[in-house]
Amino acid sequence: MQQFHKMDKLQIAQINKYNVIRCLMRESPINRAAIARRLGLSIPTVMFITETLLNSNFIRSIGKGVSSGGKPPEMLEIVPERFFYIGLDIGRTMIRATAVNAVSRQVACLEEPTNNPAPEKRFVDRIAAIILKIAGRLKTENDRILGAGIAMPGLIEKETGAVLFSPDFGWNNIPLQEWLTAKIPFPVLVENANRALALNEVFLMEGETSHTTFAVNLGYGIGAALVIGEDLYTGASGTSGEIGHITASAQGPVCHCGNRGCLEAVASGAAIAAQGKSVLESRGASKIRELAAGDPENVDAALVFRACELGDKEAARIVNTAAEYIGIGLSMAINVLDPDRLVLCGGLMRNGPFFLEKIKSSIGTHRMRQAGRAVVISTGRGGEYSTANGACRVLSNSLWWNRKLPV
């Protein structure tokens, strides 16, 4: 019994320490009394914890703050360069890498085209080289790099970080986390890319009240993730969020997941590009042909959007159909989940505000009357590196929850 009592005390002390760290991560610079108030802890407890954190150089004093009557309080902040996280967004078109410091600020980034992801082993060697390249840019010791978060499209096995199935990459059962761990001198954590993106977007909304956020990634593929409060909803077997593979058109084209007429097969960046290519191959004059200089290889989704803006009728038909289908898919999500935030992110959303308006109009037509009345629809704020930065966040959350920060 005595033993249990001791354990509890230790656990409570650790929980208090981690809560103080989280408070400092969010609200630095902050003084001890404010931390105590925020967390409902006593001043001596906060003083003891901050002393430990000061001694391990995890936090530092930045001088006196503004007095609210008594003597001015000492302000504390996390030491930004105390440690770093690396994040990778392995997209089908581009690989983006980022490094963020202890206060979540991006301090380095790089990108390169994905090209051919086969054979898998050679591709994973490339990923490892990119991780080491961005780590090198930090010019710091490896033990200050707490790990690399890897955002990968597809179904990821939570326990092992293996890619069970990635239609975008044509991968089945690839032990990505295990292969990378063998090549990298710090921990590696693989998570689904849409979840990494969603976590980052929710982080960027901080201060705005939001209980349930449904974040959708509209890019080469289509995927989504649900964040309740600040926690990811993963589902019973970890495969939630696959909105790209709901059936949008039962007679539609075959999707690379093997099913027919998935939302991703009719409305993703890859689908828009494929439809643009077939216009170029089968019809006469069009802006798509002009912009691509007659070569189907030059046609991507961005080119079809440009042709649409230049008034091309076929391009407009493709873009309008994609927006219509995306709106249908999102209406289903709104009807089922009733979220208070719907955040639309990804490459397709960077083609101008008119696409958002078309999607909103389709949602207006297809969602059930009165359903999801509270939902606010907006575009992502994190830019091209949102998923890569989210991969850092997945890692830092995991270290925080598992009490594995070096403090």
Q: Which residue has the tokens 């689904």?
A: 192
Q: How many of the chain's residues bind Zn ion (CB under 5 A)? A: 5
| Minimum distance, C-beta of residue 379 to Zn ion, in the bound complex (Å) | 24
Q: Which is nearer to Zn ion, 189 or 263 (CB)?
A: 263
Q: Which is nearer to Zn ion, 267 or 344 (CB)?
A: 267
Q: Which is nearer to Zn ion, 245 or 289 (CB)?
A: 245
| Minimum distance, C-beta of residue 261 to Zn ion, in the bound complex (Å) | 8
Contact assessment for residue 133 and residue 108, using Cβ atoms and an 8 Å cutoff: no
> Hey, what's the torsion of the CAs at 334, 337, 339, 344, to 10 degrees?
-50
| Minimum distance, C-beta of residue 268 to Zn ion, in the bound complex (Å) | 10
Contact assessment for residue 268 and residue 323, using Cβ atoms and an 8 Å cutoff: no
Candidates 71-79, 195-203, 233-241, 261-269: pick the segment binding Zn ion (CB under 5 A).
261-269
Peptide bond into 296 cis (omega under 30): no
Q: Which is nearer to Zn ion, 156 or 257 (CB)?
A: 257
DSSP 8-state symbol, 72: P
Phi, psi for residue 302 in degrees, rounded to 5: -60, -35
Strand partners of residue 262 = 247
Among 146, 257, 267, 307, binds Zn ion (CB under 5 A): 257
Contact assessment for residue 176 and residue 204, using Cβ atoms and an 8 Å cutoff: no
Q: Which is nearer to Zn ion, 242 or 324 (CB)?
A: 242
State whether residue 111 is helix, strand or coil.
strand
Asked if 92 is part of the footprint of Zn ion (rule: CB under 5 A), the reply reads no
| Minimum distance, C-beta of residue 384 to Zn ion, in the bound complex (Å) | 25
Asked if 255 is part of the footprint of Zn ion (rule: CB under 5 A), the reply reads yes
Q: Which is nearer to Zn ion, 48 or 165 (CB)?
A: 165
Strands 30-31 and 94-101: unpaired
Candidates 50-58, 97-105, 256-264, 392-400: pick the segment binding Zn ion (CB under 5 A).
256-264
| Minimum distance, C-beta of residue 112 to Zn ion, in the bound complex (Å) | 27
Touching Zn ion, residues 212-251 (CB under 5 A): 245
Greatest alpha-carbon span in the chain = 85
| String marking each residue 154-173 x if it binds Zn ion according to CB under 5 A | --------------------
Which H helix or E strand runs over 93?
Answer: none
| Minimum distance, C-beta of residue 329 to Zn ion, in the bound complex (Å) | 12
Contact assessment for residue 61 and residue 30, using Cβ atoms and an 8 Å cutoff: no
Q: Which is nearer to Zn ion, 329 or 372 (CB)?
A: 329
Length of the chain: 407
Q: Closest by alpha carbon to 190, among 175, 202, 171?
A: 175
Asked if 262 is part of the footprint of Zn ion (rule: CB under 5 A), the reply reads yes
Asked if 263 is part of the footprint of Zn ion (rule: CB under 5 A), the reply reads no
Q: Which two tokens stand for residue 390?
A: 């989210």
| Minimum distance, C-beta of residue 119 to Zn ion, in the bound complex (Å) | 24
Asked if 131 is part of the footprint of Zn ion (rule: CB under 5 A), the reply reads no
Strand partners of residue 351 = none
Q: Which is nearer to Zn ion, 95 or 257 (CB)?
A: 257
Q: Which is nearer to Zn ion, 245 or 358 (CB)?
A: 245
Would you put residue 347 in left (φ > 0), alpha (ψ -120 to 50) or beta?
alpha
List Cβ neighbours of 208 (8 Å cut-off, separation of 6 or more).
none
**In Å, how far are 22, 56, 182 from 45, measured between CA atoms?**
16, 17, 41
| Minimum distance, C-beta of residue 10 to Zn ion, in the bound complex (Å) | 49
| Minimum distance, C-beta of residue 263 to Zn ion, in the bound complex (Å) | 8
Binding interface with Zn ion (CB under 5 A):
245, 255, 257, 259, 262
